[in-house]
Amino acid sequence: MEAPSYLDTPQGRRLAYHRTEGKGPGVVFLGGFMSDMSGTKATHLEAWAKARGQAFLRFDYSGHGCSDGAFTEGTIGKWAEDAAAVITAVTEGPQVLVGSSMGGWISLLLLRRQAVECCGLVTIAAAPDFTEDGFWDSFSNAAREELMSHGVVHVPSDYGSPYPITRGLIEDGRRNLVLREQLVLPMPVRFLQGTADRDVDQSRATMLLNHAQGEDIRLTLVKGADHSFSTPECLALVDRSICEVLGDA
């Protein structure tokens, strides 16, 4: 496997990434919570981009995958800084952002802040505001007290070891919510969501669709698709959605 390249960000974090040269606009994959750039969707899209001669970027947030740092030191705000730093440093011109789960939230933050030049957005099971509306809202009073006093609680995960949810993650998440105020998306946008997703309910996708403002925003629900959204049919839909926002479908 090819070794990643590394970027030292203005915030002092060292991030791993793989950059594929090609024509623009480039495509950038933004992964999910505790996932990394070696996952099925990221590597599939890299192969898809290479076959088209399209520029492509996948990377690991700090505390994820091959990047430096401890996961428990990360927050939504820091990971958004990571994304902005690597996209700004290693890409040229406008990009299509493809955000999976937490990566969907990160993408929306970047667009709201106009932190990167973007000509299209595709989200896959986007999870905006999940630290507040998912974790915090689901915590018992005892879990909330433990979090505030000890700084961390561990939440069971379907994907392996329990998630360490820190007080910093929750408090920073509240400063970066995107569904509580205006969210204007002037570029072509495609939201993709599976109806069998146990991590992000399809009602979340509908809420995002209703909240976002723009002239070319569409939501596609895939019956029976789960949170991974990684079957051949789902991956083909991701490919087609990128082509749509690129204008060459």
227 is known as an active-site residue: yes
Q: Is residue 216 flagged as an active site residue?
A: no
192, 222 contact by CB (below 8 A): yes
Helix (H, G, I), strand (E, B) or coil at 92: coil
Q: What torsion do the CA atoms of 173, 189, 99, 178 make, to the nearest 10 degrees?
A: 0
The one catalytic residue in 101, 107, 228, 241 is 101
Selected catalytic residue, list 62, 227, 228, 241:
227
Contacts of 44 (CB under 8 A, 6+ apart): 230, 235, 238
Burial string for 52-85 (b: 16+ CB within 10 Å, else e) reads: bebbbbbbbbbbbbbbebeeeebbbbbbbbbbbb
Q: Which residue of the set 60, 82, 172, 197 is catalytic?
A: 197
- Any idea which residues carry the catalytic annotation? 101, 197, 227
